[in-house]
């Protein structure tokens, strides 16, 4: 099968679009004919070897944590799906950037029917991250004023919409090239971080910090008793700070993924992604490292 392979840790050129053995599903797994995978910033860390302690994968390996596609075969003991079912899921060890991938059946959810199957690959990693940041760590409630710091990315796309769906008033930071999309996702206010200081976004009850860099910067915007949730790094909290903080790495959760799919099919959450050929995986990594990728990019075999 054709696949985007990392034969050695390194820069974008370490990704080779070549051939790899077609995987075989083990007990509890299914084989998926892949319709799409998507780029996530964590793919850069995986490709370069910076995540070896978190994800102990050694070259050669196939990249791609998000998967959407059709169940081809079902391994022994796998339940819930049959050949022909359309599914989405997150592969914790990658492997989705190929024509076929294997996944634990327990980690999958039925794909939304209202979104093209390839584009549905944009949902699992970014959607689960936004869901857990808001509902588990941020404990978002109706009436809160929520700042999504970095709303123009894939997680931001879901975070803005989920916060609005929860009844919060959403303030979003975005560059001019992302502002229209972020407004369309439902942001009530937009702060152009290229022209205005972040202080213009406050005060807020909850901050979702989605951008690289110092996660403690937005602390001063949070009202006493409020919360700051970071997905990019720990938060340095001054002694006696009245703000709760959390830094987390999203986990696989098929039940939450099914809830996200239900919101997508109900029209409460939109999915937007640029679809490109899988052969362009290395190019997408180069563009991402140069800061030229906005929103979600799906790679289709």
Evaluate if residue 55 carries a pLDDT over 80.
no
pLDDT of residue 240: 87
The answer on pLDDT for 199 being more than 90 is: no
Helix (H) or strand (E) holding 285: helix 281-289
First to last CA, the chain: 10
Query: Which of 23-27, 142-146, 179-183 is predicted with the least confidence, judged by mean pLDDT?
Result: 179-183
Q: Is pLDDT at 134 greater than 80 in this prediction?
A: yes
Look at residue 215 in the predicted model and tell me its pLDDT: 75
Question: Beta strand 222-230 with 273-277: parallel, antiparallel or unpaired?
Answer: unpaired
Reading across the β-sheet that carries 169-174, which strands appear in turn? 189-192, 169-174, 145-149, 204-209, 222-230, 244-247
Asked if residue 37 has pLDDT above 90, the reply is: yes
Q: Token pair 């169940």 is at which residue?
A: 71
Closest CA to 204 of 236, 172, 248: 172
Structure tokens at 177: 């090239």
Is the Cβ–Cβ distance between 227 and 210 less than 8 Å?
A: no
């Amino acid at each position: 099968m054709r696949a985007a392979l990392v034969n050695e840790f390194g820069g974008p050129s370490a990704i080779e679009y070549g051939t790899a053995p077609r995987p075989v599903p083990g007990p509890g797994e299914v084989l998926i004919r892949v319709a799409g995978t998507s780029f996530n910033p964590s793919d850069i860390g995986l490709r370069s070897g910076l995540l070896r302690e978190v994800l102990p994968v050694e070259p050669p390996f196939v990249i791609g944590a998000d998967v959407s596609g059709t169940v081809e075969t079902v391994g022994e003991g796998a339940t819930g799906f049959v050949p022909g079912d359309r599914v989405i899921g997150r592969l914790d060890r990658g492997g989705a950037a190929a024509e076929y991938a294997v996944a634990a059946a327990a980690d999958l959810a039925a794909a939304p029917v209202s979104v093209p199957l390839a584009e549905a690959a944009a949902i699992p990693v970014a959607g689960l991250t936004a869901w857990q940041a808001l509902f588990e760590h941020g404990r978002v409630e109706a009436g809160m004023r929520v700042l999504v710091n970095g709303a123009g990315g894939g997680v931001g796309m879901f975070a803005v919409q989920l916060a609005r769906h929860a009844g919060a008033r959403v303030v979003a930071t975005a560059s001019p090239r992302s502002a229209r999309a972020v407004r369309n996702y439902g942001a009530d206010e937009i702060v152009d971080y290229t022209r205005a200081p972040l202080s213009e976004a406050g005060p807020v009850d909850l901050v979702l910090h989605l951008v690289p860099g110092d996660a403690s910067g937005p602390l001063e915007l949070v009202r006493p008793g409020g919360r700051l949730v970071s997905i990019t790094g720990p938060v340095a909290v001054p002694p006696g700070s009245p703000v709760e903080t959390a830094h987390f790495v999203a986990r696989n959760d098929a039940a939450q993924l099914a809830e996200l799919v239900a919101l997508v099919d109900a029209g409460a959450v939109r999915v937007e992604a640029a679809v490109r050929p899988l052969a362009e995986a290395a190019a997408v990594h180069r563009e991402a490292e140069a800061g030229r990728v906005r929103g979600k990019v799906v790679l289709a075999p």
